[in-house]
Structures are given as C-alpha cells and as structure tokens.
Amino acid sequence: MCDTVDQHGLEPLERDEWVLDTPFVHGFIGSVRGAIERFASPAEACRVVEPLFRELLTSPGWLPRRFQEDAPESGMGGGIGQWLLFRAADRSLCLFSLVVPPGAMTPVHDHLAWGLVGLYKGNQDEELYEPGAGQLRLVRQRPLRPGDYYALLPPRDDVHRVRTTSKVTSVSIHLLANDTGCVLRHTFDEQTGEARPFRSGYVNAECHEATPLR
C-alpha cells in the first residue's frame, strides 16, 4: 500500500468506524482499499481510485440529508459542517462530507494527506495556494460544479480554500489518507502566509487523542 501520513497523537480505534453503515459505503471503501493496496505512490493510488470516486459523486440518494446539514458551532466556522462517514481503525483512511452554506468559505488550510475531493451538490469556487517566504501565493482559482473533483498530493496541491457560490448549500465529498478532522493541521494567514495549528473536528465524531507521556 502507498505511504500514508504519520498519525502521531491519535490513538488507534478498536475497529473501523462506519458512521454511514450502508452496503453502498462498504462496497466503495472495500473497492478503494483493494485498489490502493496495489500501488506504491499516492499519485498512482489517486489515479486508480478516480473511477470509483466519480461513481460516488454521481450516484443519487446514498448520502442522507443529515450529512448535508450545516453546523453553526463547528471548528471550521461559518456554519461549515464536517460530517464523518467512515474512518479506518488505524486512521489511515477517512470519508467525510463537507457542508458549506451559501456565501460561506473555509479558511485557507491544508490536509496533510493525499486523496480526492469532489463536489456532490451546489457550486463552489476553489483557490489553490502556495505558502512560503512570508507570503501566500495564489496558484489557481476555478469554479466547481457537481461531479467535478481533484486530487490532493502534499506537499503540492494541498493548501486551498473553497467558498459556496450557489444559492444552495454546497456539499463536497472527501476521501483522504488520514483522519482529517482529528489530525492537527494548519490554517494560513492570507497576508503573511503564517501557518497556525488547526484541528477542524467532526460534527458527529470524537477524535480520541492519545494521552501525553509524562
């Protein structure tokens, strides 16, 4: 299996966590695991998983309404809800929905994991950034429609921001090679590019951090 990000600071779970415990999600995750076990690099893994991910984005009815609701008190701010659907016991893979209300936008942030992100509902603008040398450089800006997706491949193509441009809430699906809501990652100051520690959390799941050694 291709390399994954160090999950330092997070306890392994007793078992895989299937928050959305349906045959459709089990089948998808099983196919993804079978695919990525055969490849040595994140780029190859993303490439082979793309057809499965496209099918996920275009399949109607598999994502219940409760995983498409905003969350006024979420760690992302702006009513943005991050809803866990699945995570592996060793924290090496997760699937979640990110719900962004109309007019809201995420902070500029990283993910510290390779994977795929795609739009399931609504419309978004995505801005990709390159931090460094006391600045945050805008690399790309593009509109996204339902069915559009892209790969995250750290250290490139990992720092971005999304905003909802439709009159309806946007819902994006994330398949990433860590426990993204619980990993300590970063937001970035728009003016200076300074990185700040950030843990987004999930609306519907705990992180269960490891107990520090004394």
Q: Distance between CA atoms of 188 and 128, rounded to whole angstroms?
A: 12
**Could you report the per-residue pLDDT of 128-174, keeping only the tens digit for each?**
999 988 889 999 999 999 999 999 999 889 999 999 999 999 999 99
Measured CA to CA, the distance from residue 126 to residue 140 in angstroms comes to: 8
DSSP-derived 3-state class of residue 177: coil
Percent of the chain with pLDDT over 70: 93
Largest Cα–Cα separation, the chain? 51
Q: Examine the pLDDT at 9 and tell me if it is beyond 80.
A: no
Dump pLDDT digits (tens) for 87-113.
Answer: 999 999 999 999 999 999 999 999 999
The predicted-structure confidence for 181-210, as pLDDT tens digits, reads as follows 999 999 999 999 999 999 999 999 999 765
CA-CA distances (angstroms) from residue 95 to 5, 14, 92? 16, 18, 11
Confidence of residue 213 (pLDDT cuts 50, 70, 90): very low
| DSSP conformation class of 92 | S
Range scoring the smallest mean pLDDT among 37-41, 115-119, 201-205:
37-41
- Label the pairing between strands 94-100 and 81-87: antiparallel
Q: Which residues contact 59 (CB under 8 A, 6 or more apart)?
A: 24
* Distance (Å) of CA 90 to CA 7, 178, 191: 8, 9, 37
Per-residue pLDDT, 54: 97
What's residue 143's pLDDT?
Answer: 98
pTM higher than 0.85 for the full model? Answer: yes
Strand ranges inside 1-75, DSSP E: 17-18
Q: How confident is the model at residue 7 (pLDDT cuts 50, 70, 90)?
A: low
CA dist 45 and 92 (Å) reads 14
Axis-axis angle for helices 23-36, 42-58 (nearest 10): 160
Mean pLDDT check: name the lowest of 70-79, 114-123, 204-213: 204-213
